[in-house]
Amino acid sequence: MDDTGATLMPVWRANLALLTRQVGAATRLARMMTFSESYMKLILSGQRAFSGEFVRGVEAVTGLPEGWMDVPHRADEVPPAARESIDNERPHARFRGTAHPVRKPPVLRAEPIFGQTVPARRDDAAAGADSHRRMAGVRKMRDLAVQDVRKLERYLSVPPVEPGVMRARVEDVRSEE
């Protein structure tokens, strides 16, 4: 099975229609899957796409064997346990997934026009991490520069040695010689 499930989508829809053929079965299956009835009916009518995760959830909730939805079936091939599970709204498992399909990979690439260079694209997470790292570096350099400026100001405002003390020390050294 490919990642998008595009090749299996018609089979999945047909098998889902088989499971919900009886009156009220779509509503009962929607409640078992913790979806709204209207959303389930949009899926059944083909107005909403769904994912392989949703199909695996239908199999788990109704008690169908894994992979059952991937193969075309006739109405008489629906297992009685699955039919009974839907009729009595008695799920075999709890579905906590989503019906939203995985985004399809792009088929076409944008090509540069007349020899233009294409800017390098980075994903948003990497770009965000890089900008955060750069900003942290800038803040660190700014803090170090502020510390250096304060040290220089202190040094210039207070001479390191008093001139009178220095003169007395020089006189002591000269007298010892």
Both 129 and 61 in one domain: the answer is no
Res 84 pLDDT > 50: yes
- What's residue 148's pLDDT? 93
- Domain assignment present for residue 2? The answer is no
83 and 131 belong to one structural domain: no
120 lies in a domain? no
Q: Are residues 16 and 71 in the same domain?
A: yes
Global pTM value:
0.52
Q: So what's the pLDDT on residue 114?
A: 67
Residue 43 lies in a domain: yes
Looking at the structure, do residues 137 and 70 belong to the same domain, yes or no?
no
- Whether 119 maps to a domain, the answer reads no
Tokens 């220089």 map to which residue?
152
Asked whether residue 15 falls in the same domain as residue 82, the answer is yes
Q: In whole angstroms, give the CA distance from residue 22 to residue 88.
A: 13
State how far the Cα of 70 lies from the Cα of 113, in Å rounded to an integer. 43
109 domain-assigned: no
User: Within this chain, do residues 130 and 81 fall inside the same structural domain, yes or no?
Assistant: no
Q: What is the pLDDT of residue 118?
A: 60
Burial class from Cβ neighbours inside 10 Å (0-12, 13-18, 19+) for residue 60 reads middle
Q: Is residue 113 part of a domain?
A: no
Q: Helices 80-87 and 25-32 meet at what angle, rounded to 10?
A: 90
pLDDT digits (tens, 9 = 90+) for 14-69: 999 999 988 888 999 989 888 888 988 888 888 888 888 889 889 999 999 989 99
Q: Can you give the pLDDT at residue 1?
A: 44
As for how many domains the chain has, the answer is 2
Final residue before a domain boundary, out of 58, 87, 116: 87
Domain range for residue 59? 9-87
Please provide the average confidence, as pLDDT, over all residues in the chain: 82
- Please report whether residue 111 resides in a domain: no
